[in-house]
Amino acid sequence: MQALHTMTTLTGDTIQGVPVISQLNVNDLEPGRKHRFFFQGVQMGTGQHWYVPIVVAKGIQDGKRISLTAGVHGDELSPVDAVQRVMATLDPMQMSGTAIAIYDLSRPAKEYTQRNWPIAQKGGALIDLNRVWPGDEMGNDPPTRHAGILWNRLFKHNVDIALDFHTASTGGDFTMFIFADFRNPEIRQIAELFPIEQIKNDPGEGGSLEMAFVEAGIPVMTIEIGGPRVFDARKIAMAVEGSLNVMKHHGVIEGTIGRTSRESWNFFGGCF
């Protein structure tokens, strides 16, 4: 029997017809269909909360649970489009496993299409949500509390493989590339399943969502889909293909593996 605190918990609220949850456990969702929720994040000064949109494609059969996150930074658009496209291709009646899409984790940053989360304290500081994981529900600032809520109640019990999609920050640009920690051979394997132009072997940035997963022993990558503030169709297609390859490799969906790093002239960087 599952511990009570890890069961999916509906708050009773709905927003625009979508039920609000304060705890997710994909194991107790009905299999063979998609589920849509708003996840109740940190409370604001007004007493209302920031809500994070979630779609869970729960396969008819059990299998690996793969999370796809887009919008840890608010100026990164291609990741949202890529994850939506992956989810649109999935038919839960044909799946053995679960895909969990989590969009716009940094809601106030997304509202202003900016990288960082503005807070009222410290004269109006800007906090990078990708430097505060795994967060702290009792932390000093809202982004740290928000990360703690999401880590404890959404991520840590539900994910076997994590794909965290980003882009370069405003003012910069990237090729299609992945940060991956090759100390874990499973991470190298899933990185090479992406038709990617560059892989950087990297132990991870402190406080990143990637690092939190690494420290929890869960295979994870940070996948950079080019530059910010645009929808890059070519790189989005590569991100979608790579994500589906990972799902095929782990038997979550059926089908032939598409293009991988071998076909895309991948360049390896970092320490080997």
Instruction: Give the residues lining the site for Zn ion (CB under 5 A).
Output: 73, 166
Task: Measure the CA–CA gap between 247 and 204, rounded to whole angstroms.
Answer: 23
Nearer to Zn ion by Cβ, of 145 and 166: the residue is 166
Nearer to Zn ion by Cβ, of 97 and 227: the residue is 227
Cβ–Cβ contacts within 10 Å for residue 121, how many? 10
In the complex, minimum distance from the CB of residue 164 to Zn ion, in angstroms, rounded to a whole number: 8
Nearer to Zn ion by Cβ, of 110 and 145: the residue is 110
Nearer to Zn ion by Cβ, of 58 and 166: the residue is 166
Nearer to Zn ion by Cβ, of 35 and 73: the residue is 73
In the complex, minimum distance from the CB of residue 76 to Zn ion, in angstroms, rounded to a whole number: 5
- Shortest-Cβ-distance residue relative to Zn ion: 166
Nearer to Zn ion by Cβ, of 92 and 181: the residue is 181
Backbone angles phi, psi at 120, to 5 degrees: -80, -25
Tokens of 67: 């999370």
Task: Measure the CA–CA gap between 165 and 80, rounded to whole angstroms.
Answer: 8
Q: What is the largest CA-CA distance in the chain?
A: 54
The candidate with the shortest Cα–Cα distance to 236, out of 85, 100, 88, is 85
Nearer to Zn ion by Cβ, of 21 and 150: the residue is 150
In the complex, minimum distance from the CB of residue 224 to Zn ion, in angstroms, rounded to a whole number: 8
In the complex, minimum distance from the CB of residue 190 to Zn ion, in angstroms, rounded to a whole number: 19
Per DSSP, the three-state class of 262 is coil
Place of tokens 């132990």: 203
In the complex, minimum distance from the CB of residue 130 to Zn ion, in angstroms, rounded to a whole number: 6
In the complex, minimum distance from the CB of residue 38 to Zn ion, in angstroms, rounded to a whole number: 22
In the complex, minimum distance from the CB of residue 257 to Zn ion, in angstroms, rounded to a whole number: 27
The candidate with the shortest Cα–Cα distance to 108, out of 71, 81, 78, 79, is 71
Query: Tell me, what amino acid is at 253?
Result: I
Cβ–Cβ contacts within 10 Å for residue 18, how many? 14
The strand pairing partners of 51, in sequence order, are: 40
**Do residues 209 and 218 touch, judged by C-beta distance below 8 A?**
no
